Amino acid sequence: MEHFDAIVIGTGAMGAAALMHLAARGARVCGLDRFPPGHDRGSSHGQTRLIRMAYFEHPDYVPLLRRAYELWHELEDVAGRPLLVESGLLMAGPPDGEVVAGALASAAIHDLPVERLTVSDAMARWPALRLPEEWAAVHEARGGYLFVEECVRAHAAEAVRLGARIEHGSAVRGWQTVGSTDQVGHVVVETDAGRYAADRLVVTAGAWAADLLKLPSLPLRVLRKSLFWYRPEATAAVDYTAGHLPCFAFDGPTGFFYGFPAIDARGVKIAEHSGGTTVTDPLHVDRGIDLHEQARVEAVLADHLPGMRGVLTDHAACLYTMSPDGHFVVGLHPQHDKVAIAAGFSGHGFKFASVMGEILADLTLDGKTSHPIGFLSPNRWL
């Protein structure tokens, strides 16, 4: 049975980043996954993900985001290609709603440069938009998007270059700690292809995390989400391209919807962050178009991007793994100090993958991190 310094279960966004940071610190590390990095069966696919600093979900995320931005740009230098585009992000909704008020609160606490706009100002700047007069808007110039599959592959490729090994094609069945003390103990991981041993373990299994974490106190719920792309009419196409339209997020009466300008021939991408369909088995997900979800996003396009009367060009389904409170679960396993976990990213975690890799390497090799992750502790449900 081969023995490593550390094993990472799951080589998606968080796992690939953890592999890279562990390998960069000289650890002999192996990543295990059923699928190869950059696959389309979990949560880390669909071309783009939003990134933003004025975090409405909780201001405590902002210090992590500062470091995440730095690390994404460092990864770009290593990969030799763009991964993060700071194209701007416009958030709009009721002035006292969670999105606008929360973003402004985070900006005030952390002295972030954001711009509060009236809807008239926003529509004058971006003619494609239509916003209700009772709404308010916040523009964050450093907001933008990450190329999701490219980010995962860049982390994985650099990890391998630094000496990490990635094994894919077989399922992880479980793990156990062996030995009674920290000095003699280790972890054994069971897969379809055999057993692996390591001094330490990292569990970043995404939608498959619930069965692997061995934490009955932490119920994780998996949701299916749909992504849609629409090509605008040719006469209005320029208004919807990157550089003419920022990324957008609408906190509307029917739900929270977000999207991206047209960056390729498929056109504008739009998705609903709220809602979703419960998934009982992540291996068997209906990846067809849900007509009800399609109607909901098209109603939002009609209300707020009325020039988007083009045709649906593409569709994808991805998975959210929801924690009970919608915040991440990151830290050492409450019952196993040899095991670091990162789970329950609840549909807003991808942008943090770069810094999560650094955090997981800290926890794995040092047993602690200087990053402020106390509010994300797995112990909050004990």
* Close Cβ partners of 340 (under 8 Å, ≥ 6 residues apart): 200, 201, 202, 203, 331, 332, 333, 360, 363, 364
What residue type is 78 in one-letter code? V
Rounded to two decimals, the pTM is 0.97
Residue 49 bears catalytic tag: yes
In this prediction, residue 208 carries a pLDDT of 97
Pick the CATH number of 2-45+149-218+325-381 from 3.50.50.60, 3.40.50.2300, 1.10.1040.10, 3.20.20.30: 3.50.50.60
Tell me the HSE value of 44 on the side-chain side, using a 13 A CA sphere.
Answer: 31
How is the chain split among helix, strand and coil, in percent rounded to 5? 30, 30, 35
CATH of 89-141+221-322, one of 3.30.9.10, 3.40.50.300, 3.30.70.360, 3.40.50.410: 3.30.9.10
Q: Any idea where the domains of the chain sit in the sequence?
A: 2-45+149-218+325-381, 89-141+221-322
Angstrom distance (rounded) from CA 227 to CA 334: 35
The one catalytic residue among 336, 351, 364, 369 = 351
Q: Is the dihedral of CA 89, 153, 67, 208 positive or negative?
A: positive
User: Among the options 153, 318, 327, 364, which is catalytic?
Assistant: 318
Rg (CA), the chain: 21
| DSSP per residue, 228-288 | EEEEPPGGGGGGGBBTTB-EEEEEETTEEEEEE-B-STT-EEEEESS--EEES-TTS---S
Q: What was the pLDDT predicted at 234?
A: 85
What is the rounded distance in angstroms from the CA atom of residue 171 to the CA atom of residue 33? 6
The span from the CA of 382 to the CA of 376, in Å, is 13
Q: Which of 11, 21, 30, 48 is catalytic?
A: 48
Per-residue pLDDT 10s for the chain (382 aa) are: 899 999 999 999 999 999 999 999 999 999 999 999 999 999 999 999 999 999 999 999 999 999 999 999 999 999 999 999 999 999 999 999 999 999 999 999 999 999 999 999 999 999 999 999 999 999 999 999 999 999 999 999 999 999 999 999 999 999 999 975 544 589 999 999 999 999 999 999 999 999 999 899 999 999 999 999 999 988 889 999 999 999 999 999 999 999 999 999 999 999 999 999 999 999 999 999 999 999 999 999 999 999 887 799 999 999 999 999 999 999 999 999 999 999 999 999 999 999 999 999 999 999 999 999 999 999 998 8
pLDDT given for residue 308 in this prediction: 83
34, 41, 52, 273: the catalytic one is 273
CA distance 119 to 125: 10
Residue 180 has what pLDDT? 56
At 382 the pLDDT is: 82
Whole-number Å distance between alpha carbons of 215 and 345: 16
Please answer whether residues 202 and 15 qualify as being in contact, where contact means their C-beta atoms are separated by less than 8 angstroms: yes
Q: Is 380 a catalytic residue?
A: no
Match 């990134």 to its residue by tokens.
51
Task: Specify the pLDDT at position 185.
Answer: 82
Q: Contact, 22 vs 8, CB < 8 A?
A: yes
Query: From CA 328, how far away is CA 374, in angstroms rounded?
Result: 11
- Catalytic residue (choose from 269, 333, 336, 348): 269
- Residue 327 in 3-state DSSP? coil
Instruction: Give the integer Cα–Cα distance in Å for 367 and 138.
Output: 39
Q: Look up 371 and say whether it is catalytic.
A: no
pLDDT for res 307: 86
Closest CA to 93 of 320, 263, 273: 273
**Is residue 142 within 8 Å of 53, Cβ to Cβ?**
yes
Q: Scan for tokens 């940071």, then name that residue.
A: 21
Catalytic residue, chosen from 41, 49, 155, 231, is 49
Please say if 351 is a catalytic residue.
yes
Residue 247 annotated in active site: no
Instruction: Tell me how far apart the alpha carbons of residues 306 and 359 are, in angstroms, rounded to a whole number.
Output: 43
